[in-house]
A and B are shown apart, each in its own frame.
Chain A
Amino acid sequence: MSSESKKYFYVDFSKTFVFNVILIGFSLSFILPFVWMLFTSVKPLDQVENDSWIPLQSAWITEADFNKPEEFLQQLVDHKDPISAYLWEHVSPSMRDILNEAKEEGTLSNTQKYLPAISNDLSAIMKRHNFQANEAFAQIEMTKDMTRIKDDNEAWPLLNRYYLDAYYVGHFKEPRKYQWYNYLKVFENIPYARYYWNTIFVAAWVTFLQVLTSSMAAFSFARLSWKGRDKVFVLYLATMMLPGLVMMIPNYQIMVTLGLVDSLPGLIIPSAFSTFGCFMLRQFMLGISPSLDEAAEIDGASKWQLYWEVILPLTKPGLVTLAIFTFMGNYHSFFWPLVMLRSQNLYTLPIGLLAFDGSSGQETNLLMAAVGMSVIPMIFVFVFFQKQLVNGIQLGGVKE
């Protein structure tokens, strides 16, 4: 390698390097909230406030602690952390007095004296919670004997592990590290499948109706000539400028009059007619050669056949783009469902999530599981239609 090309190698190398660092850094900041969401969703409830993102088997005992029974006793007597507090509750009153005394006297470090005594109490806790594994139970009995006999340094780690398991058994019936069960629990706590169905149902219907009516209107504006067409089109354009907020309240009154409040058709019908879609598809249809119309006319095709068999297939990219945008927009739609829906059975996902946050906002793990599941369809849409989506956005911007 000559010195010149070596120099370029390093210039290119450092440039690529710097760009990659920045890009990775950016990506990290966009992705980390979702990662946190994922990890929180599989935590047990008592760990959602932890600093650690990863659910831990025990909140405070590490490998190092296993060999420090003194500290365990100290923590038990202080019972500040949830596990110790729980265990402390189940230690017999006489034992508590003994330990408290020992604390005052400063003789807690004499573990040989106290540990075997509490072991009895703690294994009683496990019995109370129907600790099912007999094998484990046999082992703990054995460990207890070992503790009684001589060196507690070996037995203590095992003992610790089983006490903690007992703790989890009592609370969650699932002594696992990652609580994937949380995802099922969401379906148990709220009619989540129902929310899913409602959302997809509404979004699909709106998308279908909007694409149909918009493409028909666009066909009329772009490929047919009739008196007053351009004036009506200007009127159409003018309505695009009106903010939806202005129409929201009267629309609600109309829905009250029609008796469609708190029903899914009440969500579908007002959203099914879009001037934006009509405008977008008209632009698309104007780009198709007019000679096709003449050819169709010579072949004796009706206007409907021209629309359905000639123009629509040629407008397919536009239709797909409009469909994706409409679907995504309605999937996330919030304001209108919020004012329209009353009964929980009809909630769409955003409203359902809002209600879930309101009713059990403390259960962050379940909430995060629900939130995580709600974005899955969007990820599918994005993965499968990424190209159309990106093209659609860029087309819309450049056209202006």
Chain B
Amino acid sequence: MNKREVKDLAVGVGFLAPNILGVICFTMIPLVMSVIMAFSDWDLTKHNMFLDNELKFVGIDNFTKLFETGDFVRYLGNTLFFMIGIPLGMGGSLLAAILLSQEVKGSSRQVWGSVFASFIFILSICLLVLLGLGQSAMIILIVGIVGLIAVIGMTTGVNGYRTLFYTPHFTAGVATYILWKKMYNKESGVINNAIRDPLMSFAEFNQALSPSVMQGAAVLLGLVFALIIYKVSTHWGQMWIDGELGTMAWIICNAFVFIPVITSYFWSPLGFTKWIIAALGAFLLIVNFIRYFTKGRDFNCDSFAGAELAIVFALIILGILFLLVGLSAVTFNLPAMTQDGVLLPPDWLFEYSWAKPALMIMGLWGAIGSNNMLLYLAALTNVPQSLYEAADIDGANAVQKFWNVTWPSLAPTTFFIFVMSTIGGLQGGMEMAKTMTGGGPGGATTTLAYFIYVEGFETGRLGYSAAISWTLFALVFTVTMINWKFGNKQGE
């Protein structure tokens, strides 16, 4: 090493020093400590300034305890359940981005005319809804807000709408969680106040109806469920035959779609519906296998080809299927619930079965107009216009253009958002649980992050908590590796 090299090194390290010292102190050292803690029985009730027990190393006991008690699996289940919201939120973001990316064409007179017309349209809907409630002040209020939005839309165009969409995201945090906690309040919350009367009249209507109507509706929802699975699996089957989808990717996608089938088998309210679902699942599996593996494929491709997009698509379908399962279960039980002609709004945050959906609805509200929407907006402007023109010449309609041009062009963005949201989702839910539910009721909203917080800072079992955090890290690392494998391929 000559003199100049030494000097260069000194200058380089000198510039790096402030940052690297911080990183060593607050990232590297904690990292090593954390590994050590994960294998020790460090517990604040045993090791504190008054009680100086010797720190014992317990090997992998912390990790085995994690799985023995079943807590980890349970809270991981909660975390994954919340993550069903991710694909739904992504779908919402994409929809919002597409809406915002539409150029409002035509002369200014047309634009003003249509904005005015839509204002009147929404106004009349509000009037119709609110007239039934008989609150004249509320009507004026809502109409005023709609008018304000319409004026903002008129004067600033898409930018104004974008800001309004983005509002829930940039105010996110404890403030909005407390706001939603109050909105979900059983007695005084705005949500229950709004749905109380409609629910009562719905209950009366439902009571007058024969129970079989609602059960029929539930069966209908079940049929939609089956139809979606059939459509999607044949779609992937065709892609597999055409060599657009690799074998592994095909298996993964189908596995995702089968999760709701299995769940609905267990949630099924009646014995025979259970068997119908089981038969449907088996039928689809067998038909698929016979069809594709006897016929063979026309083109071969890499085992993971097309996986990124298909998996994200599968997850969106997964979200929709879960929605359908939930809806049909609720519909099926409606006649029993409205027997007395009374249907009370739920205590959203403090009922076991409602706490998770309540938090997911709030999450969706914040996620649709988030950074993801901005990313999609940027990606949409980068889709070559010539592709749309070519599709126009081929006579494609809007839906075909979306599936054949827009959706494939957005694949890298979709995958990026999906991976980032998954990594975030695995570590998320702590603020929500702490602010809104305290992890309850009965642990229904305890995610892994909140579990770590409770173990580490409330019960003081530091060793155990560190072990959980490392197990969580293993999951995050796996997702990052998947991203690396597919994300890099995407870049080539």
Contact = CB atoms under 8 A, between A and B. Distances in A.
A53 B190 contact: yes
Interface stretch (A78-86, A181-189, A269-277): A269-277
A30 B30 contact: no
B57 interface: no
Given A19-B99, A357-B435, A217 B173 contact: no
A380 to B, nearest CB: 11
Interface string A221-247: 100111111001000100101111111
Contact of A52 (B137, B161, B382): B137
Contacts of B477: 241
For the residues of B in contact with A, the DSSP-based class is helix
Contacts of B8: 224-227
Contacts of A22: 99
Interface residues of B, number: 111
Interface string A241-285: 111111111111110000000000000011011010010000000
Nearest to A62: B136
Contacts of A288: none
Nearest to A258: B25
Contacts of A397: 371, 374-375, 378-379, 413, 416-417
B427 interface: yes
A27 B173 contact: no
Contacts of B476: 241, 243
A228 B1 CA distance: 12
Given A217-B19, A247-B26, A249-B466, A226 B99 contact: no
B175 A374 contact: yes
A381 B167 CA distance: 12
Interface stretch (A10-18, A67-75, A141-149): A10-18
Contacts of B117: 17
A193 interface: no
Interface residues of A, number: 106
Interface of A: 9, 12-37, 39-40, 48-54, 56, 212-214, 216-217, 219-221, 224-229, 232, 236, 239, 241-254, 269-270, 272-273, 275, 278, 303, 307, 328, 331-332, 334-335, 338-339, 349-351, 353-354, 357, 364, 367-368, 371, 374-375, 378-379, 381-382, 386, 390, 393-394, 397-398, 400
25 contacts: A9-B110, A12-B106, A16-B110, A20-B114, A21-B118, A24-B146, A28-B146, A35-B141, A48-B188, A217-B15, A217-B20, A242-B27, A242-B473, A246-B466, A247-B26, A250-B37, A273-B26, A328-B170, A332-B173, A334-B173, A357-B181, A368-B179, A368-B182, A381-B170, A397-B417
Question: Which 10 pairs show the lowest CB-CB distances between chains A and B?
Answer: A273-B22, A226-B12, A250-B30, A250-B33, A332-B173, A49-B188, A394-B378, A220-B15, A217-B19, A16-B114
